[in-house]
Structure 1
Amino acid sequence: MASTSLNLKFDPNAWAAELADQFRGLNPNEPGQWPWLPKLAAFVGVTVLVLVLGWVFALSDEQAHLDAEVAKEPGLRQDYTAKLAQAVNLPELRKQKSQVEEYVTQLEKQLPGKAEMDALLSDINQAGVGRGLQFELFRPGQVLVKDYYAEQPISLRVSGRYHDIGAFAADVSNLSRIVTLHNLNVLAPTGKEAGSGTLSMEATARTYRYLDTLEVAEQKKLAAKTAGGAKK
C-alpha cells in the first residue's frame, strides 16, 4: 500500500510577503474594504492615540490634582494627631492656661503704671543712698515704647565701697517693681583717691511699665498704619 505524506512546511518569507500585500493599494476613503490585518492595525493605532490624547488633556490634570492631595496626607495626619492629643489633654491644657494667666497677672503687677514711674525712680535712688553710696550720675534716658510696655533706661554712676555697691545691686533686683542692670563697669579710683577703698560703678538701669489703654490703642493704630504702608 502506497503511503502519502502531507507537506506542512512553513515558509516565513511567503507568509511575510502575504501580510505585506494586505497593506498595498489601500484606499483611505474606503477603510471598510481593507483586509483584516490593516483594519486591526488601524484599530490598535486609533485606540492608542485616543488613550494618549485622553491622558494628555484629561487624566494628566487629574493625576496632578491627585498627587497634590496625596502630598497633603502626611501633614494632615500630623495635624490630626496633634489636635487629637490636644483634645485628650484639654483639661490639663486649660489648667496650664489658667496658671499662665495668673503668672502674667503677677508680672503685670510688677510693672508700674505711668503715674508710678517717679516713685520707682525715687526707690532706685533711695536704694543707693541707703547703702551709703554717692550718686555721681542719675540720668533717665528716652522712653522706648514697645507693643504692650514701655522701657525707661537710666544711666547710673555711683561711688562707694565694694560691698556696698554689691548690696545696692542686690537691693535693686529685689525691688517690688522690675528693674534690671546692664553694662556694669566697676572702676578703681585713680589719682589722689587711689588706695582709699572707694570704687565707682557705671551701669544702665532699665525699668519697665505697662501701657495704659490709650497708649495700647495708639500702638495698635501705629502698627496697622506701618503694615499698610509696607503693603503699598
Structure 2
Amino acid sequence: MKSRFPRLSFSSLVSRKNWTAPTANNGWPGFRMVISPLPPIKRPAKLQRLLPERHQKNSQAGQNIRKRLGLRMNESLENAIERISKLTRGQRIGICVGVVALLVGVMTYFVFMPKYQKLEELTAEEQKLQMELAEAKKRARQLSKLQKEMKEVEGEYRKATRALPESEEIPNLLTSISRSGQDAGLEVLLFEPEKEVRMGFYAEIPVSMTVTGRYHEAVDFFNRIAQLSRIVNLKDVTMKADPSQKSRDGATSSPYKLEISSSAVTYKFVENTEGAAESK
C-alpha cells in the first residue's frame, strides 16, 4: 500500500556536507555530525480536496436534521393548538382542573406525605421525651425527700443492729437476764435457752424461764429486762400463787410467793445469710 506521506531516509537527513573533520585537542582526528531540521509535512492534494467537501456535507446534513425536527415540533404544536381551539370552554376548564389536580396529587404523594409522616414520628418522639422529662423532674423533686427517708432508715437500721447482738454476745446477754432476776429478789428455778429460729437477717433465741418471788419483785424484774440495751421480749407469761409459802415479811397485801413462768425471746444479728447457705 502506497503511503500518502513522502518517504524520508536517513541519507536525506544526514548528508556528507554536514560532516566536518576538525582536529581534536589530543591530536586524534574526530568527527562532528550536524543534523538539519525536518522538512514540513505536505498533505496530498486529494486529501486537501476531500476535507472541505466532507465538512460541507456534514454541516448540510446537520442543518437538514434540525429543519426536520423543527418542522415536526411545529406541526405537533400546531395540531395541539388546533385541537385545543376546537374544545368548548367547559372542556378546557375541565382539562385545566384535571392537570392541576394531577400535579397537586403528585406533589402531595411524593413531597407532602413523607414529610407529614416524618412530622408525626417527630411529634410522637417529642411527646415521649416530654413524659420522660416530667418523670425525671418529679423524681428530682422527690430526691431530697427520699434521701432524708433513707438517712432515717439507715439510722433505724443501725439502732436495730446495735440492739441485735452478735453470736458471741449471746452468752453475756443470757447471763444479764439471769442476773436481773436475782437482783430483783427472785429465785430462778429454770433458765434454759432453746434452739434458735432463723428469720432472715436475724434469728430468735427463746429462753424458757421459771422464777419465784413476790409480785413487786416480779415487776422489778420486768423493768430491768426492759432497760437492757438489747431487745428481750417476754411471751406466754403465767403467774400462780403457792399457798404453802408465805412472803418474807408476812404482809397481808402479798402473803404468798408467785411462781412465774415465761419465755424470754432475744434476737441476734445474722450477717450474709445467703452466702452462708450457698457455702453449705
TM-score band by shorter chain is 0.5 to 0.7
Structure 1 residue aligned with 2:104, among 44, 63, 72?
44
| CA displacement at 1:22 relative to structure 2 | 5.4
Confirm or deny: 8 A CA contact 2:193 2:206 kept in the other structure. yes
Deviations 1:149-184 (A, max 9, x none): 544222333333221111101111223x40322435
User: Taking structure 1 as reference, are residues 38 and 140 closer, same or farther at Cα in structure 2, changes over 3 Å only?
Assistant: same
Higher RCO (C-alpha under 8 Å, 6+ residues apart): 1
Count of residues in correspondence between the two structures? 178
- Hey, what's the Cα distance between the residues in 1 that align with 2:243 and 2:121? 86
Q: Which runs of 5+ in 1 are unaligned?
A: 1-16, 24-34, 226-232
Kindly indicate whether residue 161 of structure 2 is the aligned counterpart of residue 62 of structure 1.
no
SS at match of 1:72: helix
User: Taking structure 1 as reference, are residues 163 and 19 closer, same or farther at Cα in structure 2, changes over 3 Å only?
Assistant: farther
**TM-score normalized by the length of structure 1:** 0.56
Alignment correspondent of 1:221? 275
Structure 1 residue aligned with 2:207, among 154, 159, 169?
154
Kindly indicate whether residue 194 of structure 2 is the aligned counterpart of residue 129 of structure 1.
no
Kindly indicate whether residue 259 of structure 2 is the aligned counterpart of residue 205 of structure 1.
no
Write the letter of the residue equivalent to 2:275: K
Overall identity of the aligned pairs, in %: 21
Deviations 1:15-34 (A, max 9, x none): xx9657855xxxxxxxxxxx
Alignment correspondent of 1:5? none
Alignment correspondent of 1:181? 233
SS at match of 2:185: coil
User: Taking structure 1 as reference, are residues 203 and 75 closer, same or farther at Cα in structure 2, changes over 3 Å only?
Assistant: farther
| CA displacement at 1:78 relative to structure 2 | 2.9
**TM-score normalized by the length of structure 2:** 0.48
Q: Which runs of 5+ in 2 are unaligned?
A: 1-87, 246-253
Write the letter of the residue equivalent to 1:125: S
Determine which structure has more spread, i.e. the larger CA radius of gyration. 2
- Hey, what's the Cα distance between the residues in 2 that align with 1:136 and 1:18? 125
